[in-house]
């Protein structure tokens, strides 16, 4: 049983540090896939440094029309994050409203299809 516990223990290894040239090249690669990444903002993160501990981070431009805010995110989150924190919150609320509306309309439609006794 001790061996099973040892296998489950998560080992925290520091990421290899990239020098300035490697950071610029890696940032250029990220920009090809994610155009909202701001050029040359890729950074190495130290272990225990805020919410992005031991991760590489990059700055993005908010994709909401008219917004010029920037946001620092981990490179692993680039596929999910497109907006600044304020517009992320607003988009989430809008999705929830739409889901509630759709659910209530489906409920009304199902109720109207029932045959009265």
The whole domain housing 64 covers 16-99
- When pLDDT is averaged across residues 35-58 and rounded to a whole number, the result is 82
**Would 86 be classed as within a structural domain?**
yes
Question: What's this model's pTM, rounded to 2 decimal places?
Answer: 0.68
**Would 114 be classed as within a structural domain?**
no
3 confidence band (pLDDT: 50, 70, 90): low
pLDDT of residue 4: 55
pLDDT of residue 61: 95
Give every CB contact of residue 84 below 8 A, 6+ residues apart in sequence.
Answer: 62, 64, 67, 69, 70, 71
Q: Report the number of distinct structural domains present in the chain.
A: 1
**Would 3 be classed as within a structural domain?**
no
Q: Which tokens in the block code for residue 58?
A: 């990059």
**Would 6 be classed as within a structural domain?**
no
């Amino acid at each position: 049983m001790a061996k099973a516990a040892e296998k489950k223990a998560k080992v925290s290894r520091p990421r290899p540090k990239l020098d300035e040239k490697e950071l610029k090249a890696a940032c250029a690669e990220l920009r090809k896939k994610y155009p909202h990444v701001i050029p040359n903002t890729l950074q190495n993160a130290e272990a225990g440094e805020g919410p992005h501990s031991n991760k590489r981070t990059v700055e993005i431009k908010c994709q909401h029309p008219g917004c010029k805010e920037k946001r620092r995110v981990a490179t692993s989150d680039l596929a999910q994050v497109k907006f600044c924190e304020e517009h992320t919150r607003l988009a989430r609320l809008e999705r929830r409203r739409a889901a509630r509306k759709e659910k209530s309309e489906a409920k009304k439609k199902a109720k109207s299809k029932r045959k009265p006794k």
